[in-house]
Amino acid sequence: MNTTTAPQSGDTTTAGPGPDSGAGSRSPRPLYRPNADRMLAGVASGLASYLGLDVLLVRIALVVLCFLGGIGVPLYLAGWLLIPDEGADQSIAADFISSTRDGRI
């Protein structure tokens, strides 16, 4: 006995993916350290903007991580070195690596 039924003409559900789920439908947001809304190097502000969170929550999380095991400070320093500044082509670490390859240091 076949128990499948054909969709009704007024049925609005679809079995396929939605319009936002296609590959390449959205370009990724850039991760950078903005010039505005900085307290130190702009790492928390950049992460908050990228993740769509309030900057205060990211700052609190980093401070809590500093007191719980001390991982907050190395994470912040890594973000400062690896996340490019707003308007810059590459991060501080990438700029340093490319300058050593070119023999500028």
Banded model confidence at residue 17, pLDDT cuts 50, 70, 90 = very low
Write the CA distances from 63 to 9, 13, 23, 35, integer angstroms. Answer: 56, 46, 37, 21
Evaluate whether residue 36 is within a structural domain: no
Domain count, the chain: 1
When pLDDT is averaged across residues 13-33 and rounded to a whole number, the result is: 60
Q: 58 lies in which domain range?
A: 43-102
Evaluate whether residue 63 is within a structural domain: yes
When pLDDT is averaged across residues 28-40 and rounded to a whole number, the result is: 84
> What whole-number distance in Å separates Cα of residue 87 and Cα of residue 100?
22
Evaluate whether residue 32 is within a structural domain: no
Evaluate whether residue 81 is within a structural domain: yes
Q: What is the pLDDT of residue 4?
A: 53
Write the CA distances from 87 to 15, 55, 70, integer angstroms. Answer: 43, 20, 31
Query: Is residue 57's pLDDT more than 90?
Result: yes
Evaluate whether residue 74 is within a structural domain: yes
**pLDDT digits 0-9 by tens, 60-93:** 999 999 999 889 899 999 999 999 988 888 888 8
> What whole-number distance in Å separates Cα of residue 35 and Cα of residue 43?
10
User: DSSP assignment, residue 28?
Assistant: P
Evaluate whether residue 57 is within a structural domain: yes
